[in-house]
Each structure stands twice: as structure tokens, then as C-alpha cells.
Structure 1
Amino acid sequence: MMTKLPSVPLANTDCLYIDGKWVPPHSSALIDVVDSTSELVYYSVPDADVDDIDRAIAAARQAFDEGPWPRLSHAERAQVLLDIADAVEARIDDIVEIWPRETGILASSVPGVMREVIDAYRYYAGLAKSFPFQEEVTPTNGARFGMIVKEPVGVVGAIIPWNAPMGLIAFKVAPALLAGCTVVIKSSPEAPGAGYIMAEIADQLGIPAGVLNVVTADRAASERLVSDPRVDKISFTGSTEVGKRIGSILGGRIARSSLELGGKSPAIVLDDFDIAEAAHTIASAECFLSGQICASLTRIIVSEERHGEMVKALADEFDRVVIGDPYDPQVTLGPLASDRQRDRVENYIEIGIREGATLAYGGGRPSHLDRGWFVEPTVFGNVSETSRIAQEEIFGPVLAVTPARDLTDAVRIANATEFGLNAAVFTHDSKKVFDIARRLHSGTVGQNGNRVDFGIGFGGFKRSGIGREGGVAGLQAYLENKTVVLDAPPE
């Protein structure tokens, strides 16, 4: 186990990035970023206060109202996105150095995930040519010519969670910038590194002042970003409880929002699908980022006759998991992001036991690791559909297996939560999957695994959120339709 951490590959961790400059914080308070494996402080950043948030909002507002950015062509803004993509690609080694220490993701997983991040900037740059920012329409009021012009929504507050910050920044910032918006990124206290890298890239590329501002703050100061009338839209990814609070504030001032919230996603395993194959797919995916993924398939629904077989197969898969340092190439499961997150997961494991579910594997801390926020991958069987571990998001490597009488019962159980983010159906019959998908209340339904696809669009039904990120819908979220009716076509 490491005892000394390498230097952090960031240059300005004592400042905030506001109005195109590295500026000292108003407050002297600091946020310590703790390495999730060693429990040592890796680096510290300023804890932005209300005055700092105020400065960032003012810079973004002025840049939108008076600066050049919204008045550039879409092609000019697209070129900046391509430059950002190249700059992010050049920083992959730095991200490998930072992200696993902040959240526990395996270092070996980072380059593959970053490929998707880089592609996101290039994808939205490509929409500058193909997306119809102006459309001719036929007026219905007797006028001769009409148009729908899609214009930027304005100043955007992008509130980023700690689990996958580079990707979530990309799917908020890339479409917002292409649309012509200006942005205040609010990074999470647990994982501010991605925000600092983006600030360094903005500085390096000379993006106009105020177009991209980056602060790190806890909840109290962050609420100013949500409540300030100078901010036209909030794009938030995080828990449903925080999303409810943000939505209530924005509702009071009729502000725009995109809310990508929690999940409790089901995997229905039909009787024609091999149990061992399903267990391998589900258990392997649950090890990614230590299960700290909102779209994880954590509720496994299987016929009563095959329930025991499924529980055993998942336990066998988890028994082969190697837990430890995310930089060790032999390790397949790293730590959780924080002591608070590990406490949460352990608390839910205790709840599952008290509720009468069968603890089939895991449930504790690895005996060979005396430091770090580690927890064993855990499987519960005989989980009641109404129990808390079947209804509430745990955000850790904990699977709950629930038996169903038949397919109708399985679909009912899958829909019997307040969430509707992701789902999967395991069968080789694609038509059957499609038929079942139409009955599932979920933003994504995939065949034989977690098929979440930000390139198409991602978001949820019910309390899993409002709006979509990724794809064309992800750009539309940062645009307002303006109807223009004329006596004659403009030259």
C-alpha cells in the first residue's frame, strides 16, 4: 500500500478560474481532496464562498450579454470544441493520475472512458454543420414567411458530481458552448481535479473571458448559483434529493433545468438466458467505478425457479474479484470515493440484513486492507420488492436479487420504484426485448447488459430526472426556439 502520494499534475490549485483569469478566492477556507486508497490528503483547493460564486456569475453574464462568444458563428465555436478535444487528449495521463485517487476508478479504465469524453467534444463540433439552427416554416396566420431560430438559453450553471466528472463536464459544456451559452462549472468537493483541468485548458486556448468559469464549493455556496436570476439554466447531475431542492428553487423563478438524478435500475433475466453468462456481465459491470454509477443494474429480477442459481452465480463472480489499489493491474475493484460513501454503503448492507434479505456474499470490509475506503462486493438474495435495498439508491457494489412468478410479475417489479433511469432484459430474442422495453418505465432499456449511450441520449423517467444529456437532445437543452414571422424572406 502506498504511503506517499505523487505531486498533483495541476498548476493553480490555490486559485479559482473566473473571467478568464486565475484569481485568489474571497475566503481562506480550503477543501482537502483525500486519496481514496491511502486516506492521505492528495491536494487542497479553495472552498468558494457566496462572493466567489457571485463573481463567476457576473463574469458569465457579462460574457453572454456583451462578449463575442454568442455572436460567433457555430462553425467558429465548433473549432474551439475541436481544440478542447485535442487539449483533453493531451491531458489523459494527468487524468489517470488524479481520477482514481479521487473516486476509486481503476486506472486501467480511465483511457477508455476518456475516449468517449474526447469524442463528445468532436461530436458536438460536428453538429455545427448538420443541426438546423434556423428552419423555414409556413406561417398559419396569413403571413408570407416564417422561421424558427434556435438561440442560446444564456448563462448556464453546470453542477458536476464526483463520480465521473470529465465525462459529465463534456456532456454539459460541449453542447452549451456550441449553442453560444456561457458557463459556470461548479465542481464537487470530492473530485475537483477535472474542473481544474478544464480551467487550465480554457486558459491555454484563450477562450474569451467569462465564457468558462470554474469554482469548487460545497452545498451552501452552490445554492447561490441555483437561486441567482442572472443564471438562465442549471444543468445538474446528482442525487434525487438534491435535484428536488434545485428543482424547487428553479421553479420559483421559472428558470430552465436539466436534472439527471438517481436510479435503481433493474435487470430482468429471462429463462432462455444462461445464468452464468448473465451473472458475469452484471457482476463485472458492477465493479466499474466500484458501483458508483447511477445507471448500474443493481436489481436483478429472475424467475422463482432460478433465483437460487442466480444468487450463487453472482456470489461466485464476486468471489473472483480482486480488491485493492486501483493502480495495481491485477486489481478489479477499487475503493469507494470517500469515508462518507463507504459509511452509506455499509449502512445499507446492515439495513438489508435487518430487513430479512439473504446475505449471500460480501457485506464487510476486506480483511487484508487496513486503509482506504474499501467495501466488499455484496450480493443479497430473497430481496422483497418493497424493501429499502430494493427501493433506494445505494451507489456502491451491492446487488439485490428478487424472484418473480412470471414475466408479467417481473415487469411489474421492475417498474415498482420511484426511479426510471436504466433497465436491461437478458434474452437472445430481440423482439421480446423490444416488446418488454415498451412496458418498462425507463429512459434506457438495453439487451443483455447496461446499454446506456450518451451518444444517443441519456436521462430518466419519474424521479430519475428531467431532460436528456448527449445526442441531439443534449444540444436542444441549451437552445430556445424563437419564432420569427416576416412579410418576406430575409435576404
Structure 2
Amino acid sequence: MSTVYESLYIGGEWVSPSSSRTIEVVSASTEEVIGRAPEAVERDVDAAVAAARAAFDDPSGWAMWAPADRAAVMERLADELDARAPEMARRVASQNGMPISIAAQLEGVFPQVLLRYYAGLIRSTELDEVRDGLMGGRIRVTRKPIGVVAGIVPWNYPQTLAAFKLGPALAMGCTIVLKPSPETVLDAQLFAEAAAAAGLPAGVVNIVQGGRDTGQYLIEHPQVDKVAFTGSTAAGRTVAETCARLLRPVTLELGGKSAAIVLDDADLASNLESLFGATLLNNGQTCYLGTRILAPSSRYAEVVDTLTGFARSLQVGDALDERTQIGPVASSRQRDRIEGYIAKGAGEGARITTGGGRPAGLDRGWFVEPTVFADVDNRHTIAQEEIFGPVLSVISYADVDDAVRIANESDFGLGGSVWTSDPERGEAVAARVQTGTIGINAYLPDPAAPFGGVKQSGLGRELGPEGLVAYQALKSIYLAP
């Protein structure tokens, strides 16, 4: 069944697009057309930003509401998304190949968790304080909403990563224009339906789906006050250059090539479910995954065998099948990219222990076998560049110092994990890894903790109270003695 939309959600209404251009949505599992939506062009972006600007500048509008009143609307939005959760998960899984069992939680539930978290946080956050100065007077520090936000959202976790931006922005009183990826527009339209049903004031949330040109136009728009971007490092660098030229605040959550450090006392066999979540979640299409597995030389063959057997055991299939653990990747272009890296890994001397091709019996859909490489040198291309698919590289290390060195010899620093029977030892190792986030015997971002990267993995932080700060404009008022 095809889902067709003819309108864009701008200014609290469903409006006709400015052109006849459309985005055709294709199932990652079947390669069949499953929907269509309008593609926003520059005039549509202008209208969306104007609506957001008017809503923000309204003297009695969203930015001026009491935090508790904004929180109540956010909670209504979460309720409306709850009512649509099964359909939201189905749409995401159909579009980008995320297994439905994962989509049901991360795309069907987690966005509401974030909305409710920030609704609760804004109720208890002090936005106005007076402190003693050092020059004889006092200082009033106020925290106001930063303004109109451009939110650029990728296709791998479209609703969760939109909520990373929506939660703190709405809580602070900002208005937002979201630009979903063209690969995932049907879920964005369903979100718009929820926003309309929740009674968000006109212009507070606007959605303009489109490609790179649409996003670039939105980022450069003169009426935008802040940019929040999640995507590749290459695209993020372009966004950063634009925002630097415009002196526009920007949050960048970019790529990763994280290390999963297996210490010599680790019991991987008892932690395979957690290991899956830290290394192969969403078909490997997750920025923080530890796709470099660092194994001690004394146990290297054992670790390779364990990972090889585990990868072979994974159920590959249609994303809408509840039994599926590895679904298709999001597009034929993405599959071509992954297959290119697999060929390069083999060409540089790494050894494929399982996978490396397309699974038998799945003639339609963009499937790639879960693939494990052994005998990988950290200088190999597959160890240094983000593949964004179900491909793991196992690298040998001599001792803990060597493991930390290898983990840090990367242009990225977003996630990571340490696997050990001694959590205190694991935490000591984790403290030495140059990364924005890291887990011990598991990895899953928590709404209460700041999330983001170092080096080429990004700038700024999302989630936690720190995520709220990114949407604040601070002003100091000096009060005479």
C-alpha cells in the first residue's frame, strides 16, 4: 500500500507546495515504491522560516509562554506520538531498513521519552539568577530562547534524531524548521500529523523535506538563528564553514569510527546481546558503533572466532519481519558504498572470516551480509573510514597501552566501549580513550547524559541538561551597588 502526501506542514497548516517536485519513497527491503511526498524548494523554505520567525517574535507567542505551559504541549505531542508509535516504526523500518523490533523501541518510543524528559527539565530549570559580582555590584544572568532553529535530520534514526533537537528547542521556547532526509519523509509527515493533533501553535514546528540543496538554503537563511545538524563529517564540515562565515551558532553530531576494546578478562560469550547493540545495531547504520574491535593478541583467535560465529548466527531478512536482526541498508547507493569498502579491505590484505557478499535467497532489497574482517591493521582504510554498514574489523593489540593508542589513532571520537569482567578496570581504560562517550560492557546513549564527539565527530553536545544550554541565549545585566 502506497502512502501519498500532497502538502507540506508549514505554519501549523497543510499547505500546497510551491513546485510539482516530489520525493518517491522506495522500500529498502523490496525496492518497491511505498509512498510519495512533496519536495520543498526555496520558496517553501522561505515560508517555513517566515512562519517560525513570526511565531518566535510574537510578543505573546511560544517564546513568552511559561515553561510549564510549553511543557504541557510537549507532553501532549508525546501522547499523540504514542498513539502513532506502531505506524511510525513501520514507516521507518520500511524506508531505511531498520529491523522493526528495533524501530518499535528507538523510533516508536524513544522520541517521546526525550520530549517528556525535556518537558520535566524545563519545569525545574532556573532561567534567571542573580549572583554577586567581583566589582562591588550584582549580576543578573538571564537565559532566553536562542530563536529560530534549523534542524537537519539524517535517515538512519529520523525520529529519534529529530527529537534530539525538538526536545530542548521546544522546551526553551525556540521555534524550529526541520529538514528530513529524502530517504525518510513518510515518518516526518506522520510526525506533522501528531504535531497538528497536539495543538502546537502555528509556526512552532515546520517541516520541509528535501535534499542537500534544500538543507543548504535553510542553513544559510538570514532569518535562522541557530543550526542543529546530524550527518556525515564531510557534510558537517560544509555546514560548519557556512555557519562560521555567518557567525551562526551550530551543533554538529557527525561520523564515528569507534573502538570496542576487549580486555584480556572479558567474557564476550555472555555479553553478545550487548555487543550487538554496541557494534551492529540498525544494520551498522549508527554513527557511534564500535566497528573496530580491539582484541588482545593472547586471545585474538578466540575473539575472531566468537565474532565470526555470532555474525553468522544473525537473522538477515525483511525489515518488517519481527525475527530479523539485520535488515537491508537504506539505499542502493549505500550498499554500493559498503561493498566498495569490503573490496578495499580484502585488497589491502585483511581476511574475511564471514560475509563479504549479498545473502542468498534475498534477490530484492539492498542487503549486505554481516561481515567480519580479521588481520586488520589500524592503518587500513576499513579501520579509518566510516563504512556505515554491518562490517566489523578485528585488530590485535599487545597490552592495554597499545589498545588505548590504537583506539586514539583515529580522526573520530564519538562512541566506544570497553569489555571486561572488572568494571573498575574498564572505567580506568575508558578514561584514557579520546571520545565524547563510551560504555563499559554495553553502550546506549541516555537522555540524561550529554552526547556528542571530539575531533572530526562533531562540535557541541545534545541530550542532558547540556543539550538545553545549546538553545539558550545568555545575557548579563550588571546591577549597580
Q: Is 1:128 matched with 2:100?
A: no
Whether the 8 Å CA contact 2:267–2:421 is kept in 1: the answer is no
State the SS of the aligned residue for 1:484: strand
Question: Aligned-pair distance for 1:307?
Answer: 1.4
Identity %: 43
Question: Paired residue for 2:37, among 12, 21, 45?
Answer: 45
Question: Aligned-pair distance for 1:230?
Answer: 1.1
Question: Aligned-pair distance for 1:486?
Answer: 2.5
The match for 1:415 is: 408
Q: Is 1:463 matched with 2:428?
A: no
Question: Paired residue for 1:431, among 419, 424, 447?
Answer: 424
Whether the 8 Å CA contact 1:267–1:423 is kept in 2: the answer is yes
Q: Which moved more, 1:379-388 or 1:324-333?
A: 324-333
Question: Paired residue for 1:34, among 23, 26, 29?
Answer: 26
In 2, distance between residues paired with 1:183 and 1:78? 16
In 1, distance between residues paired with 2:459 and 2:139? 30
1:165-192 CA deviation, whole Å, 9 max, x = no partner?
1111111011101111110000100001
Question: Aligned-pair distance for 1:102?
Answer: 0.8
Whether the 8 Å CA contact 2:338–2:388 is kept in 1: the answer is yes
Residue identity in the other structure for 2:7: C
In the TM superposition, structure 1's runs of 4+ consecutive aligned residues that sit over 6 Å from their partners are none
Q: Tell me, which stretches of 5 or more residues in structure 2 are unaligned?
A: none
Count residues in correspondence.
479
State the SS of the aligned residue for 1:64: helix
Whether the 8 Å CA contact 2:37–2:186 is kept in 1: the answer is no
The match for 1:232 is: 225
Question: Aligned-pair distance for 1:7?
Answer: 4.2
Whether the 8 Å CA contact 2:285–2:329 is kept in 1: the answer is yes
Q: Which moved more, 1:435-444 or 1:274-283?
A: 274-283
Question: Aligned-pair distance for 1:222?
Answer: 1.5
The match for 2:165 is: 172
Question: Paired residue for 2:237, among 236, 244, 268?
Answer: 244
In 2, distance between residues paired with 1:285 and 1:445? 10
The match for 1:442 is: 435
The match for 1:17 is: 9
Residue identity in the other structure for 2:37: V
In 1, distance between residues paired with 2:78 and 2:251? 24
Q: Is 1:54 matched with 2:66?
A: no
1:398-431 CA deviation, whole Å, 9 max, x = no partner?
0000001111010000000010001111112222
Question: Paired residue for 1:259, among 246, 252, 268?
Answer: 252
Question: Superposition pairs for residues 171-190 of structure 1, below 5 Å?
Answer: 171-190=164-183
State the SS of the aligned residue for 1:86: helix
Question: Aligned-pair distance for 1:285?
Answer: 4.7
Residue identity in the other structure for 1:354: G
State the SS of the aligned residue for 2:120: helix
1:89-109 CA deviation, whole Å, 9 max, x = no partner?
010121122111011112122
Residue identity in the other structure for 2:297: E
1:287/1:80 CA distance change after superposition, 3 Å: same
Q: Which moved more, 1:146-155 or 1:237-246?
A: 146-155
CA RMSD of aligned residues (A): 1.5
State the SS of the aligned residue for 1:419: coil
In 2, distance between residues paired with 1:38 and 1:271? 43
In 2, distance between residues paired with 1:127 and 1:171? 14
In 2, distance between residues paired with 1:191 and 1:450? 25
State the SS of the aligned residue for 1:380: strand
Whether the 8 Å CA contact 2:311–2:371 is kept in 1: the answer is yes
Q: TM-score, normalised by structure 2?
A: 0.97
Question: Aligned-pair distance for 1:375?
Answer: 0.6
1:33-75 CA deviation, whole Å, 9 max, x = no partner?
1001110111111111111111111111121112611111111
Whether the 8 Å CA contact 1:279–1:313 is kept in 2: the answer is no
Q: TM-score, normalised by structure 1?
A: 0.95
State the SS of the aligned residue for 2:357: coil
Residue identity in the other structure for 1:445: I
The match for 2:335 is: 342
Whether the 8 Å CA contact 1:295–1:452 is kept in 2: the answer is no
Question: Aligned-pair distance for 1:132?
Answer: 1.4
Residue identity in the other structure for 2:35: Y
In 1, distance between residues paired with 2:257 and 2:455? 12
1:300-359 CA deviation, whole Å, 9 max, x = no partner?
001112212111111101111121112223322111111111111111101101111011
State the SS of the aligned residue for 1:250: helix
Whether the 8 Å CA contact 1:162–1:191 is kept in 2: the answer is yes
In 1, distance between residues paired with 2:268 and 2:463? 33
Whether the 8 Å CA contact 1:275–1:309 is kept in 2: the answer is no
Whether the 8 Å CA contact 2:277–2:442 is kept in 1: the answer is no
State the SS of the aligned residue for 1:350: helix
Question: Paired residue for 2:349, among 338, 356, 368?
Answer: 356
Residue identity in the other structure for 1:122: R
In 1, distance between residues paired with 2:271 and 2:375? 18
In 2, distance between residues paired with 1:280 and 1:89? 27
In 1, distance between residues paired with 2:150 and 2:277? 35
Residue identity in the other structure for 2:76: D
The match for 1:329 is: 322
Q: Which moved more, 1:152-161 or 1:329-338?
A: 329-338
State the SS of the aligned residue for 1:428: coil
Residue identity in the other structure for 1:256: P
Q: Is 1:118 matched with 2:116?
A: no
The match for 1:163 is: 156
1:423-468 CA deviation, whole Å, 9 max, x = no partner?
1111122221222122110111211122432331211111101111
State the SS of the aligned residue for 1:368: coil
Q: Is 1:95 matched with 2:112?
A: no
Q: Is 1:203 matched with 2:200?
A: no
